[in-house]
Amino acid sequence: MRRRKRTPAEKAERERRIQATLRKAMKEARSDSPKAGKQKTSRKASPSGSAMAQALVSAGLIKAKSGESSKIDVRDGKGLATKSSKKPAQNGQSSKQKRPRSRALRKTKSPEQRAQEAKAREKLERKKRERLARKLAAIERARRREEEGRKADLARRKAEREKALQGYLRQASSLSFTMLLSGWKKYVGLLDYYQRTGKNPQRAELYAEVVAAVEREWQRRAKLPHTSDEYFDWPSTKAGKGKGGLSSDHWVDQGVLGYLGYSVGEKSDLTQSERHAILRRVFEMHLPPIESPTYMKQWGRPASASRLRKMANSLASFARQAKRRRSTNMQEAINSWEHDLDMLYREYYQAKFGFGWPPV
């Protein structure tokens, strides 16, 4: 059954009666406890509080709850409000508190939910793998393009180099001694490098072909009459800049070795391996006809004892002459000649020839 709403007049009358009853109850409480006015009002239930509650109950303004004397229901103009004491339960009985659900119970999931989550995780992992695979494929395509471009560039450069060398070989018979010598010096050094290191055998074969072609041309010209225009270049009387003497920084033999680029000293641009490469070729090759046939016969045939003797005597003579020059420091050049002599001795003279090895 629905309660009837009070009118404003009934609400005001009820409020007045509550206030009057409260004043009466408080007056009685003061008379029972003379010192109560000097003490602070306590929130706990007290005899004066009980008297006040009983007065309100007797006036019919509040309803008492069974078993809970510390709780009263006061009906004001807005409705029913409950005032409860925060006094803990006595007789060792703790107040009943709401316990939180355990973690295991809170996270308990049904098999369907677990299956859905597993599918979601699998889908996420599959997407990650697909993204990684796409990245790797892109990197591999870029690497292949770079490799193809590098190979194409190498092939282009190789074709250009072979074309230039073939043109050089075709024109070898018409080239001057200077042009032949320039090409020979360049490709002898490169040939020695690729043969020592074992890198790029195809390029080593190409350079060997060029060197051999130049030496064949020199051999052809050496068989021509000494008066032939192709035998040697006409000498020039133009002198370069200098101080009028032989420089100790760039000591060069003016004979066959010097013509073919052999040099030692502080300002020589040849390394030890390049000097040895020139000496090896001089020992094994047909020499260019740079002097008269009488002079060229002193060098003997390729890879012969006469050729090795001439080379050894030349180097030893250079070293002895440098040791006599006390005004100039020739120690670096002397060390180079002695080291080169030792190379010729170990590689060609030992256990092959029996002539006396020249001292230095």
Distance CA 60, CA 54 (A): 10
First to last CA, the chain: 140
Give pTM, 2 decimals.
0.51
What is the reported pLDDT for 44? 45
What is the reported pLDDT for 74? 46
Task: Judge contact between 333 and 248, C-beta under 8 A.
Answer: yes
Segment 107-129, tens digit of pLDDT = 688 888 899 999 999 999 999 99
Task: Judge contact between 240 and 223, C-beta under 8 A.
Answer: no
Buried b or exposed e, range 235-267, using 16+ CB within 10 angstroms: eeeeeeeeeeeeebeebbbebbbebbbbbbbee
- Residue 217 burial by CB count (10 A; 0-12/13-18/19+): exposed, middle or buried? buried
CA-only gyration radius of the chain, Å: 59
Beta bridge partners, 251, equal 264
The tens-digit pLDDT sequence of the chain (360 residues) is: 567 778 888 888 888 888 888 888 777 777 765 554 444 444 444 445 566 667 666 666 666 655 544 444 444 444 444 444 445 555 545 555 556 555 555 568 888 889 999 999 999 999 999 999 999 999 999 999 999 999 999 888 888 888 888 887 787 878 888 888 888 888 888 888 888 888 888 888 888 888 988 888 888 888 877 655 555 444 443 434 444 444 433 333 458 898 888 999 887 889 999 999 999 999 999 888 887 788 888 899 998 989 999 999 999 988 888 888 765 678 888 899 999 999 999 888 886 776 777 777
What is the reported pLDDT for 221? 83
Residue type, 336: S
Helix (H, G, I), strand (E, B) or coil at 128: helix
Using alpha carbons, select from 68, 65, 56, 77 the residue that is nearest to residue 12.
Answer: 77
Joined tokens for residue 213: 């072609």
| Secondary structure percentages of the chain, helix, strand, coil, to 5 | 60, 5, 35
Using alpha carbons, select from 170, 189, 181, 249 the residue that is nearest to residue 215.
Answer: 181
Segment 177-203, tens digit of pLDDT = 888 888 888 888 888 888 888 888 888
Helix (H, G, I), strand (E, B) or coil at 27: helix
Task: Judge contact between 8 and 77, C-beta under 8 A.
Answer: no
| Displacement of CA 288 from its chain's centroid (Å) | 52
